[in-house]
Structure 1
Amino acid sequence: MPKIIKNLEETITNSALDLFRNLDYDEVDMKKIAKNSGIAVGTLYNYFPNKLELYITVLCQSWNDTLYKINNIPHYENDPKLQIKEFISVLYDDVSFRNGMGSYGLSSNKAISADERIIDLKNSIQTTLMYYFESTKTKITKEEISKFFECLLVNLSLLIHNYYEERSSNIQLLSDMFISYLKFKNS
C-alpha cells in the first residue's frame, strides 16, 4: 500500500527550503529533496518538473511570507522611524533565516532573474518599499527604490554574516541608514 503524505506539496517545499537554506544551489538535487521529503524521486517530479522550478517556487513563497509580515506591521503615522525599524527587523530576520538562499537566483542565474514570478516578486517588494517612502513624504523613483533595496539587502547580508550576534545594533544601523537616506532625499 502506498504511503500517503498529507499536504505533500507543502512538505516538498519545506524540505527544499531547508536544503536551499543550508547548501549551495549546486549541492542540492532532486534526489536530496525527495529523500528529505520522505518521498520517491518520481513522486517529486509529479509536483515539480525540475530543481529550478522548485527553487523559484520556494524563493517566491519565502519572500511572499516576508512581504505578508511587512504589510502587517502596524502603521505608526506619528512615528515613521518606529515603522521603518519594524520593517528592517522583519526583513533582517527573514533574510537571516534564508541564510543567503536568494543570492544565487537574483545575481548569477539569468533564467531565475528573468522568470515572471521573480519579476512580479521584485515589483511587489518595490511597491512595499514605495509605501514606506511615501509614508515619510519622500519623493523617490522606482529605479531609486530598486537600487536602495539592493543596497539594503547587501548591507543587511553583510551585517548578518559578519556580526551575527549583534542583531539589535545591526537593525539600528540599517534603520538609521534608511532614515538618513530619507532625510537626504527630502533636503
Structure 2
Amino acid sequence: MAMQKSSEKRERILQAGIQTFAVNGYSTTTIKEVAKTAGVSYGTVFTYFENKEDLFKASVLEPLEEVKSVMFSIPHPSEHPAEQIKETIERQFRFFAQQTTYARMLQYVIGQPERFPDLFKELDQFSLHLREALRPLILKGQEKGELIQLEPNDISDSYLSFINGVRLTFIDSAEEMERWDTFIRQAYLLFGPSNP
C-alpha cells in the first residue's frame, strides 16, 4: 500500500512537471511551483527526483514511452496495406489528439537542440525508428499499386511533421473529433494513395 501511494505521488509530481514545464519552459519553472501544482511539499519532490534537470528529463522521456508504444504499433503488411495505413493513421491521430500538453513539451525540446542535446537526440531517434516502422507498409502498398512511388522516408517525415504540426497548431479539445477526422484524411493523402 505504501509502495502504491509512493508511486502515485511520484506520478503526480511528474504530471505537474510536464504541465509546468510545458507552460513556463525550463528556466522559469521552479520546483516550488511543481510541488504546489502536484499538491506536495517542496522537499517531497526531491524524494523522487534529484533536481530540476532530473525532473525535466523524466518529464520528456517517460511519457515518450507511451507515445512509442502507440506510434510503433504498426501491423506487419498484409494484402491490404493501404487499409492498414488508414487504420494506423487513425489510431495515431486519435492518440495525439489527447497529447496537448506533452506535445508542447516535445516542441520546446525540438526547438532548442543546442540547449537539450541529449533529449533532442532521443527524439530524433524516435523519428528515425518511426521511419523504419512505417517503411514495410509503405513499400508493400507501392508494390501492390495502392500507393504511388514516393520515397518512403519522405512520406514518413512528412507524416510525422504533419501530425506534430496539427497537434501544436490546433489546441482545441480532442472532443472535436470531426475536425480531427479531416486531418486524418489529409494525413492519408501524404502516403500517395492511388485511389484516395
Structure 2 length as normaliser, TM-score? 0.68
Q: Which amino acid aligns with 2:24?
A: D
31-40 or 156-165, larger mean C-alpha shift: 156-165
Distance between the aligned counterparts of 2:87 and 2:66, measured in 1? Answer: 15
Alignment partner of 1:67 is 2:77? no
Residue number in structure 1 paired with 2:108:
104
Give aligned-pair identity as a percent. 18
Distance between the aligned counterparts of 2:29 and 2:84, measured in 1? Answer: 37
Change (3 A) 1:19 1:41: same
Extract unaligned runs of 5+ from structure 1: none
Report if aligned partners of 1:73, 1:86 keep a CA contact under 8 Å in 2. no
Give the CA deviation at 1:168. Answer: 0.6
Report if aligned partners of 1:95, 1:157 keep a CA contact under 8 Å in 2. yes
Distance between the aligned counterparts of 1:170 and 1:149, measured in 2? Answer: 11
| SS state at 1:131 partner | helix
Q: Which amino acid aligns with 1:136?
A: I
Distance between the aligned counterparts of 1:104 and 1:88, measured in 2? Answer: 24
Change (3 A) 1:155 1:174: farther
Report if aligned partners of 1:66, 1:91 keep a CA contact under 8 Å in 2. no
Deviations 1:119-143 (CA, angstroms, capped at 9, x unpaired):
234313322322212222178586x
Q: 5 Å matches for 1:1-187?
A: 5-7=5-7, 8-21=9-22, 23-25=23-25, 28-75=29-76, 77-99=78-100, 100-108=104-112, 110-112=114-116, 114-115=117-118, 117-137=119-139, 140=151, 144=154, 147-148=157-158, 151-157=161-167, 160-161=170-171, 165=176, 166-177=179-190, 179-180=191-192
Alignment size in residue pairs = 174
Distance between the aligned counterparts of 1:38 and 1:147, measured in 2? Answer: 40
Report if aligned partners of 1:16, 1:55 keep a CA contact under 8 Å in 2. yes
Distance between the aligned counterparts of 2:34 and 2:66, measured in 1? Answer: 21
Extract unaligned runs of 5+ from structure 2: 143-149
Distance between the aligned counterparts of 2:67 and 2:131, measured in 1? Answer: 13
Give the CA deviation at 1:106. Answer: 0.9
| SS state at 2:79 partner | coil
| SS state at 2:128 partner | helix
Give the CA deviation at 1:169. Answer: 0.9
| SS state at 1:10 partner | helix
